[in-house]
Amino acid sequence: MLAGKHSRMLPVAEEFLISATPELQKARAEWLAALSRERRLARMTVEAYERDTRQFLQFLTGHCGGAPSIGDIAELRPADLRAFLAARRAEGVGQRTLGRSLAGIRSFLRFLERRGLANAAGAGALRAPRAPKALPKPLSPDDARRVASGEGQLAEEPWIAARNAALFALLYGSGLRIGEALGLNGADIAAIRAGTLRVTGKGGKTRVVPVLPVVAEAVLEYQRLCPYHLSAEGPLFRGAKGGALQPAIIQREMKKMRSALNLPETATPHALRHSFATHLLGRGGDLRAIQELLGHASLSTTQIYTAVDTARLLNIYDKAHPRA
């Protein structure tokens, strides 16, 4: 068993090449490809699982005393997985990341189990670390409107300011994820002008979202000012040199706005999507309808916004009631 072969443990946080026998590396590559091709997981989820399992194999290199093989994986016990989680925790990794790491390892083991190469029962019996339930942190309606307006942008180039305003307007006005907005192409301008937009979200699922006139106006203003031809097949949102706009650029723009507009540290592009849901709910929006607009597979995922609205109402009560 693995525990009997224990030797020096390599530090988990260091960067290594994938440490595993060729057979195990090949099986892992096939599993990662299947996640994208067959299960159609989001690219960022696949990248996280790749990183998590790479770190796990690095840990096993020290745990086994050499590059792990499929045979070592087949002999895994819950104690081995707990040792990995403990090593990661000692590096300061949070509960949420640990839970995702265990989910990725379980998925890999189930893949090997279906091929008759391992048994995933041990990983399935291990309880995932309980992550603290954090409520979404929306912006106030006034702050969200400022971020999504042309006047609130800080970029000196007029077309870049218009681009940022259009993108933020889509995140807040239609509840898009940043990846969904950046995945739009020039052909989507016609749908935006018409007032409804078909979006491809997580897992390749599509949904139809409304586009408010003020949001459509922002996108059309960006189209008018953009120095690059927005072809039907090309990306709608362009970087300064004409290529596809990268998420890091928008993250950086939001960081600048936090300072200039005195926004809270929780103001991120994704917070605009939280604001979309919370503000709809606060104005009497139907929870099922909000679920559809956000593209959530489960209503329980959307229900977290009821807790946000309740917390807001209680805060107002505490501040306003004479006996509070």
Active-site residues: which are they?
A: 177, 202, 270, 273, 296, 305
Hunting for tokens 């031809």 — which residue is that?
229
Q: How far, in Å, CA of 171 to CA of 43, rounded?
A: 20
Q: On the CB side of 24, how many CA atoms lie within 13 Å of its CA?
A: 22
The secondary structure element, H or E, covering residue 282 is helix 269-282
- The SS3 call for residue 182 is helix
Contact 78, 126 (CB under 8 A): yes
The single-letter DSSP state of residue 235 is B
CA–CA dist 221, 261 (Å, integer)? 23
Would the CA dihedral through 86, 92, 95, 100 be positive or negative?
Answer: negative
Q: Which two tokens stand for residue 34?
A: 């299947």
CA dihedral 258, 263, 267, 272 (to 10 degrees): -110
Tokens 């950086």 belong to residue: 252
Question: Residue 21: which region, alpha, beta or left (left: phi > 0; alpha: psi -120 to 50)?
Answer: beta
